[in-house]
Chains A and B, each alone.
Chain A
């Protein structure tokens, strides 16, 4: 709900352009060669004329610009619809860098400051064929000014690919687990639905740093009641925690189905958005640190699963997701900093041992409210120690944190 402006767009679909994967390698050669620009699309100065047509899509569909302040002169020339049409630029990150709406016949200039790279251009509905904007010129800072990769680039890329497959697999599991939860809710089986709540959450908690690249999805799927003026009663409070609130605090399924249906749609949007995304090495490596930051700042308090009290499993999922990344990169890390690898592994083991004290025979965890401050303190300390060590991995690899 943070970005309400962006969320109001009718069909917001973000598709990643497959460009640079290894920012630290400065692998400019891997970028697709700039497509020759059309006459109206190439302008070093002045504005770039773009028209939204009834045929769907941008006219022209191939644009080019020099890095820096870029102005587009946009016309809504759609004649067969009176709806507002959207003009949107999406970076390779992917991130929406420009989003403006135009009423029928509207023509005006919009601008954005753009770094070099390839952008998708959306004109009208997001299902329309997308245009491409190629921005050339001074290189962006996001590579690494003066940093040199200290691990084998090909091996690192192989790990990125493996991690990308892991993320995809988590998505597949996420869809299946939430379908099951939806089934139990639709069948009116409260006890079954309660037992399926956490299994539907763990995949998200394992890949949160990647999922959070999509803040709109994060806002509708994983917000907490505190984020809304009317707290639990706020109609904008949606997603897992709304369902958690209904099932565990109100102890009913009344009203849950609407939110579950919406959540399934939002999951679908997320999965579609992430599909094909190129995760870069820095995102992967820092993802392992990010998960532990998340765990130690807002999971340890029990505020995440405050109605279901299943925070230990959430915490465990963050730790699993983080460890997945470290394990994947174990050989590389051992090669550049064996002591750091040992320290990190010891921390993970200690956290696992700490959590296992509260594990039930069936693999679930004890209710989090049963833990005392004294119980939480050692977990808290281990997470903090782990965070300190994980924050050094990127530098050990020669990767810049963005």
Chain B
């Protein structure tokens, strides 16, 4: 919660309004009369966290190599647009909203006899809050309703059931998925409501999950956090700030056999993974550590001292120090042959109440990006089949999606090339 506190303090700046420059315009953020910021007023002892306006335009959409802020909402939708024309209009409308939201556009005043144009969850002048909105499409969008079948990304299929999955069909797949990330839950919900309001005639929500995550523990560009099992997660993630590496692992480039429109996009795998936290909490520490392959406190691999130490599996072929079905060993065996299987993870923790047996429904919104689903997530998940951790986790939702390429000019819109 430390991260949340500092951000709340930012929002609740109240009397000392924080000034942030956005596109040359100085905006006052932290509206003291805003109900949410008032409620969030906290002690002013911690350091202010600098948050930004993330640019919308670019070769790639934001929200992938962008450092992950503390909060997220992932929402999947069914498109009910009756034809390609209405679908195209939906993407245009959606793009207008995404642009306005990410840029922090001041809310326009309307006739008070009308409903307000904005929910005002973050005030008339939205603060810079690291907001990103990332739009991806599922295999079902290419099913023939809109004549898009020939444009299907080659590896985009409906996510299959893996052996340990307990699929809940109400929490899986979707024609479209939107990932909203920001520094506060208010900003995420603000964006979600605006996006849904603008597209009500074309998008029907299918499933949704809110997530949160601690600030990373490895510094800029890295993404190690703690998951709901209490272990460091993301330590071995490829460096998202390394553009060359990202071209290698994440982005569809030119000159592949993929449809031309996909250049600049990426495959997205989302897995909603429940953790059996009560059972986990009463599992011996050493058992937990050998199941994961890391020291719980430090995050170091079992044969190392520091979190960033590279485990030496090669010198432990029989699993004497690091069991053969341990999580990090199977996920990333650290061999030259498995380098191409590296994926950019950008997951969030979730806490969604409890089930009918009174056990907490907590876990991971696993999110990863890769240029090839088969080389990336599918290869990793296949290796993880039968891992020792399976007893404690239940993947139940999510899906495969394709992140649309970025929008590079002011007149452009998301998915534009699907309609030309």
Interface residues, chain A, with chain B CB atoms under 8 Å away: 2-3, 67-69, 113-116, 137-142, 226-227, 229, 289, 293, 296-298, 300-303, 377, 380, 384, 387-388, 391, 394-395, 400-402
Alpha-carbon distance between A302 and B355 when the two chains are bound, in angstroms: 12
Alpha-carbon distance between A146 and B149 when the two chains are bound, in angstroms: 59
- B283: A residues at CB distance < 8 A: 391, 401
Alpha-carbon distance between A395 and B319 when the two chains are bound, in angstroms: 22
> Within the complex, which residue of B284, B290, B317 is in contact with A67, where a contact is CB–CB below 8 Å?
B317
Contact B356 A301 (CB under 8 A): yes
Give the total number of A-B pairs whose CB atoms are below 8 A apart: 80
Closest approach, in angstroms, between the C-beta of B318 and any C-beta of chain A?
4
> Within the complex, which residue of B163, B286, B317, B323 is in contact with A2, where a contact is CB–CB below 8 Å?
B163
Interface residues, chain B, with chain A CB atoms under 8 Å away: 161, 163-164, 166-167, 169, 276, 278-279, 282-284, 286-287, 290, 316-324, 355-359, 388
Contact A141 B319 (CB under 8 A): yes
Majority SS of interface residues in chain B?
Answer: loop
Contact B287 A140 (CB under 8 A): no
Contact A141 B321 (CB under 8 A): yes
Contact A227 B166 (CB under 8 A): yes
Contact A141 B323 (CB under 8 A): yes
Nearest 6 A/B pairs, CB to CB = A68-B317, A67-B318, A391-B282, A138-B318, A301-B356, A401-B287
> Within the complex, which residue of A138, A226, A391 is in contact with B317, where a contact is CB–CB below 8 Å?
A138
A68-B318 contact given A141-B290, A297-B359, CB 8 Å threshold: yes
Alpha-carbon distance between A148 and B322 when the two chains are bound, in angstroms: 20
Closest approach, in angstroms, between the C-beta of A382 and any C-beta of chain B?
12
Contact A115 B318 (CB under 8 A): yes
- B356: A residues at CB distance < 8 A: 300-303
Alpha-carbon distance between A118 and B283 when the two chains are bound, in angstroms: 29
- A114: B residues at CB distance < 8 A: 318
Alpha-carbon distance between A45 and B151 when the two chains are bound, in angstroms: 48
Residue of B nearest to A380 (CB): B358
- B319: A residues at CB distance < 8 A: 113, 115, 140-141
Contact A301 B320 (CB under 8 A): no
Alpha-carbon distance between A137 and B287 when the two chains are bound, in angstroms: 23
Contact A226 B166 (CB under 8 A): yes
Contact A140 B318 (CB under 8 A): yes
A296-B318 contact given A115-B324, A391-B283, CB 8 Å threshold: no
- A69: B residues at CB distance < 8 A: 317
Closest approach, in angstroms, between the C-beta of A274 and any C-beta of chain B?
20
- A113: B residues at CB distance < 8 A: 317, 319, 324
Alpha-carbon distance between A388 and B290 when the two chains are bound, in angstroms: 21
- B282: A residues at CB distance < 8 A: 289, 387-388, 391
- B276: A residues at CB distance < 8 A: 297
- B355: A residues at CB distance < 8 A: 301
Residue of A nearest to B316 (CB): A138
Contact B357 A116 (CB under 8 A): no
Closest approach, in angstroms, between the C-beta of B232 and any C-beta of chain A?
21
Closest approach, in angstroms, between the C-beta of A16 and any C-beta of chain B?
19
> Within the complex, which residue of A2, A116, A395 is in contact with B318, where a contact is CB–CB below 8 Å?
A116
Alpha-carbon distance between A142 and B318 when the two chains are bound, in angstroms: 11
Q: A67-B318, A394-B284 are in contact. List 14 more A-B contacts (CB 8 A).
A: A67-B317, A113-B317, A113-B324, A138-B317, A138-B320, A141-B290, A289-B282, A296-B357, A297-B357, A300-B357, A300-B358, A380-B358, A384-B278, A387-B278
